[in-house]
Structure 1
Amino acid sequence: MQNNLNRISASLASLALAALVVGCASPKHKAPVEDRPVGAQTRPATPAPASSTPAAPEVKPLPGAENAGKPGYYTVKQGDTLIRIALDNGQNWRDLVKWNELENANRIEVGQVLRVVTPGVDAGAVNARPVASAKVESRPLDSKPGTPATGASAPQSPAASAPVTAPPAPTAAANGDDDLPWGWPTGGSVTAGFDEVKNKGLSFGGKAGDPVLAAADGRVVYAGSGLRGYGNLVIIKHNATYLTAYAHNQTLLVKEDQAVRKGQKIAEMGSSDADQVKLHFEVRKQGKPIDPARLLPSR
């Protein structure tokens, strides 16, 4: 009997051991397995290379940049126009186009450097010339109110006002640029004197249609309305030193490159780009505004 019990216990123990082995060999949930090649080592993931930034396009220097800061050259600033640059440097804007080989006079860039003196001329010597001349005397202006305009006439067409054969314009006065014979640009009275900041010339009163006269012999270098603040404008170049400007006209009676004589009617007074009828008259010496009262004769 005892032997039978021992055999039964041994059988039960064998069955229990077999069940345990089967349970270990067949788990219900398998552990995750990572397949790796033989000899492979764990390495941190290599980040994807950043996209390379395309190279910036080569910036070409603006025309004339090599001349920046040199005498006789001007660096274009925001708001500049070729007409303004020419006026401020005492030149014909068409000459600036030619000297700088500009394809389009209306397209100049900020930072562009322009030649503003005649090629072959020593710009340093030009800039060294005194703006004020010892030969010019300061004379009081006759600004009595109510002075009537002289030489008034009915409006004329440009064709009627221009001479049949335009006389040649002198490039310099016989005894020097400062010896030009000057005349008054209108018969109206002076309403505002010269001020280097507020009024770079003289302002004359009058009525619409009053004649505007060339102050000296010369050649028209601009006739139009392309300069802000001046309205319908005429600019006359008298010689290598002097320019005069006549602003706010209602009618222009001359054309660019036309030769004119002192006292010739070149426009009719108006209020273009102004709050009232008036003539704004400037004298520029080497491009710098000077007081016209120092040049105009007594009257």
Structure 2
Amino acid sequence: MLGWRGSWIPLIVSAWMLNGCGSRSAPAPVMELSEAKSFRQFEQMGTGETYRVKKGDTLFSIAWYSGNDYQDLARFNGLTAPYNIYPGQEIRLSESRQASTKSAAKPSGRTSKIKANQPVDPPKKQAYGGFKDAQKSTAKTEPDDFPRQVSDWTWPAKGKLIGRFSLTEQGNKGIDIANAAGTPILAAAAGKVVYTGNALRGFGNLIIVKHSDAYLTAYAHNSRILVKEQQWVEAGQQLAEMGDSGTSRVMLHFEIRYKGKSVDPLRFLPDQ
């Protein structure tokens, strides 16, 4: 009897291995930005110059997690809409030295009026498809380039703080603010809108604003977006209206990223 049972063991193991291999061939699901695996995957980017595409990646998600404008990544890599990429492809995260040397030779004419830079971890005292209804910018000036520093930060919305930042792998990578539908969503600092849309699952109707070469902010779950990509905005300017797109309740999910890494917004925003 032992010999009979032993003869079946290799067949059982073989069948198990075949089933396991078959499951791996299934297409990867669309990336959820809130998933810990996705977050950890992109946290390894650091300040590297390239990134190798994995299943589930999109140019939009790579741009967000590396702290870039997706249109800049498209330009760095010679990509055009709809920005198709494939697993194993190497994506440049910064402009090539040759290209940057050429652009540096051209005067930008930019004069910075920014005050002191906001530190990454200051004292506790400082506690992507467009929309048809996008409106024209109300900003008076349009800078030629991003400033080196961020000036003042302001709260992105009024309401009740219902979610705080967490350093745990599955923790909140920003803060959540609840209020009534239609509550104004405001730019937390002056900058340029680099993404509007809902191509990134888990964030609903999303806006991403770039404030400097190091800082990005994200505003998720909006009901109506009032700005468009490549539009320069002032601190406190209305970007959207609060909604519940991509979530179960009316709220704003707000994130600040420094060089692609999540930081606690309450360390930047003034006390209320």
With the length of structure 1 as denominator, give the TM-score of the two structures.
0.62
Aligned to 1:266: 239
Q: In 2, distance between residues paired with 1:187 and 1:288?
A: 25
Amino acid at match of 1:87: W
* 2:113 equivalent to 1:139: no
> Do residues 167 (structure 1) and 141 (structure 2) align?
yes
Q: Distance in 1 between matches of 2:239 and 2:143?
A: 15
For residues 191 and 207 of structure 1, the distance between their equivalents in structure 2, rounded to whole angstroms, comes to 13
Q: Which residue among 155, 159, 164 is the counterpart of 1:188?
A: 159
**SS of the residue 1:212 aligns to:** strand
Aligned equivalents of 2:91, 2:265: Cα separation in 1 = 29
Equivalent-residue separation in structure 2 for 1:297 and 1:169 (angstroms): 26
Paired residue for 2:134?
158
Distance change in 2, residues 1:117/1:270 (3 Å): same
C-alpha separation in 2, matches of 1:287 and 1:192:
21
Alignment equivalent of 2:180, drawn from 189, 196, 207: 207
Q: CA deviation at 1:136?
A: 2.1
Give, as a single letter, the amino acid of the residue that structure 1 aligns with 2:69.
N
Report how many residues are paired. 201
| 3-state SS of 1:158 partner | coil
Q: Please list the CA deviations of residues 237-256 of structure 1 after superposition, one character each: whole Å capped at 9, or x if unmatched.
A: 00111000000000000000
Question: Secondary structure in 2 aligned to 1:168?
Answer: coil
In the alignment, does 2:30 pair up with 1:71? no
Q: Is the contact made by 2:126 and 2:269 (CA closer than 8 Å) also made in structure 1?
A: no
Give the alignment of 1:55-66 within 5 angstroms: none
Aligned to 1:223: 196
In 1, Cα distance between equivalents of 2:94 and 2:151:
22
Deviations 1:19-42 (A, max 9, x none): xxxxxxxxxxxxxxxxxxxxxxxx
Larger RCO (alpha carbons 8 Å, 6+ apart) = 2
Give the 3 Å change call, closer, same or farther, for CA 170–276 of structure 1 in structure 2: farther
C-alpha displacement at 1:276, in angstroms? 0.5
What is the alpha-carbon distance in structure 1 between the residues aligned to residue 224 and residue 206 of structure 2? 9
Q: Measured at CA, do residues 98 and 231 of structure 1 come closer, stay the same or move farther in structure 2, by a change above 3 Å?
A: same
Indicate the percent of aligned positions where both proteins have the same amino acid.
41
1:297 and 1:270, CA in 2 relative to 1: closer, same or farther beyond 3 A? same
Structure 1: 5+ residue runs without aligned partners? 1-69, 122-131, 142-156
Taking a change above 3 Å as real, the CA distance of residues 71 and 162 of structure 1, as seen in their structure-2 partners, is closer
